[in-house]
Amino acid sequence: MGIDFVAGTHRQRAQEIESTKQSERGRLYETTESPRYYNAHNGPGLISSKEVFEEYAEKAKSLPPTTKDADKLILYGLYKQATVGAINTNRPGLFSPKERAKWDSWKA
């Protein structure tokens, strides 16, 4: 498994997750069970995108144990981009593979 394959797979999985997120965003306003329902008189509920982000970030803390490490890394990278912005640290060395994978995910 070459580095190009891994990077390509990472990008493909990120695109799949983004596609799923977009379809989930569309469903947020379809039901009245969610506080973000669409009201014909008032429009969408008055919950900010920051609150929605925080809600989903909290849900991500309790992922099922079957969640793949690659998926967790994608979520980590997206979370760091959203909360911190562009990566602002040096890449960890070869003797820190876990930190290096997290750094690579944040950079992607």
Q: What is the mean pLDDT of residues 79-88?
A: 88
Backbone angles phi, psi at 31, to 5 degrees: -120, 155
Angstrom CA distances, 23 to 12, 30, 32, 97, stand at: 17, 11, 17, 34
Task: Output the pLDDT for position 26.
Answer: 53
* Domain map (residue ranges) of the chain: 3-107
At 28 the pLDDT is 47
Buried b (16+ CB within 10 A) or exposed e, 76-90: bbbbbeeeeeebeee
DSSP codes, 40-74 = TTTEE-S--HHHHHHHHHHHHTT--TT--HHHHHH
Mean pLDDT of 30-52: 56
Q: CATH number for the 3-107 domain, one of 3.40.640.10, 1.10.1040.10, 1.20.80.10, 3.90.1150.10?
A: 1.20.80.10
Across all residues in the chain, what is the average pLDDT?
73
pLDDT over 70 (residue 1): no
Interval 51-72 mean pLDDT: 85
Report pLDDT for 30: 47
pLDDT of residue 48: 66
